[in-house]
Amino acid sequence: MAIPTGPAGPSPPSESTPSHKINSTRLFRVLNPELFFPKNRYVMAFGLITFTGAVAYFAWDDAQYRLRNPSGNTVLASEPTETPMTYQERMQLKQQQQSSSSPTAESMAPWPSQVPSEPPGLGIADGSLAFTLTWWSTLPSGVRPVVLQTCQALERRIFPKTEAMALAAETRRPGTRLLVARAADDQIAGYALVTVARIDSTARLVKLAVVPAYRRKGLGRRLVQHVVAYVAGPKVRVAKVRLHVDPVRSGAQQLYRQVGFVTTAAIPDYYGSGRPAGVMELTTAATDYSI
């Protein structure tokens, strides 16, 4: 005697049933679309070729980076394996070389003869120090490129390659000004770069440079004081002046403290691994510098 059965339902999927033919809810298909696409050898080949090409490109890019940066962790076979100098040792060696070198025409940069001895307006002369400070933007347009190129050459000569700045690009930034110092012998003796951020009423002393032949004559202090007087004056009126300084440069820190700066914070690894930067600030209301 036959046993009656109910209506036949859908048969369960077998192991050979393609995944895109399996009955499922719409939500499951939306969340897992890759399970329901029919196999396509062309798409699979394209994906395999793309993945292989990406891996090969990253390997090539890494090899190029290692070639361009031989001082990294990987040492090339052709490179000497001598122990590299630390930053402090390099700074000490540079200071010794600068102190032992005498002022020559190569270490100094001439002031263009086309520039007036005292440009009207912002040019000032300090008789005791025999230096004239002039804002680069007030110079005649015909000689600005010469002065800027000379300052750029000094920038590369005074600072390490990793700290040298592109002064031409910096002077094009809004709120950035370059102050240039001229010695009595018509040589460019130093410069200072300052940028103003009115949004927080703060000026930042980006760069201060003095040619070694003119150091320890008060020029660095005069440049900083002139910058502070300008940004605190009626044309700008900022509340603070901020700068970053390498703790290794003790002479620079002492100069900034004499002007009125105080250390407020430190930024780890600012100048490189293990080389922090000290953040120093000056409140303009507490100064009485004038220009």
Looking at the structure, tell me whether residues 136 and 277 fall in a common domain. yes
Q: Is residue 270 included in any domain, yes or no? A: yes
pLDDT at residue number 181: 93
pLDDT at residue number 143: 87
Looking at the structure, tell me whether residues 25 and 111 fall in a common domain. no
pLDDT over 70 (residue 10): no
Q: Is residue 255 included in any domain, yes or no? A: yes
Q: How many domains does the chain have?
A: 2
Q: Is residue 85 included in any domain, yes or no? A: no
Average pLDDT, the chain: 74
Q: Which one of 69-73, 169-173, 232-236, 274-278 scores highest in mean pLDDT?
A: 169-173
Looking at the structure, tell me whether residues 125 and 207 fall in a common domain. yes
Of the pLDDT bands very low, low, confident and very high (cuts 50, 70, 90), residue 224 is very high
Looking at the structure, tell me whether residues 126 and 225 fall in a common domain. yes
Q: Is residue 80 included in any domain, yes or no? A: no
Looking at the structure, tell me whether residues 136 and 42 fall in a common domain. no
Phi/psi of residue 202, nearest 5 degrees: -135, 135
Looking at the structure, tell me whether residues 58 and 112 fall in a common domain. no
- The answer to whether 258 and 228 have CB atoms below 8 angstroms apart is no
Of the pLDDT bands very low, low, confident and very high (cuts 50, 70, 90), residue 67 is low
Q: What is the CATH number of the domain that holds 120?
A: 3.40.630.30
Residue 24 makes CB contacts below 8 A (sequence gap 6+) with 36
Of the pLDDT bands very low, low, confident and very high (cuts 50, 70, 90), residue 208 is very high
Euclidean distance between the first and the last CA atom of the chain, given in angstroms as a whole number: 119
Looking at the structure, tell me whether residues 123 and 210 fall in a common domain. yes
pLDDT at residue number 129: 52
The whole-angstrom separation of Cα 186 and Cα 170 is: 25
Question: Is the model more confident about 195 or about 19?
Answer: 195
pLDDT at residue number 205: 93
CA atoms within 13 A on the CB side of 101: 17
Of the pLDDT bands very low, low, confident and very high (cuts 50, 70, 90), residue 289 is low
**Which range marks the domain in which residue 266 is found?**
107-286
Looking at the structure, tell me whether residues 239 and 182 fall in a common domain. yes
pLDDT at residue number 3: 56
pLDDT at residue number 247: 83
* 230-283 residue pLDDT tens: 988 888 888 899 998 888 888 888 989 998 899 988 888 888 888 888 899 988
pLDDT over 90 (residue 180): yes
Of the pLDDT bands very low, low, confident and very high (cuts 50, 70, 90), residue 101 is very low
Phi/psi of residue 214, nearest 5 degrees: -115, 15
H-run or E-run covering 120: none
pLDDT at residue number 223: 94
Q: Does pTM surpass 0.85?
A: no
Looking at the structure, tell me whether residues 148 and 271 fall in a common domain. yes
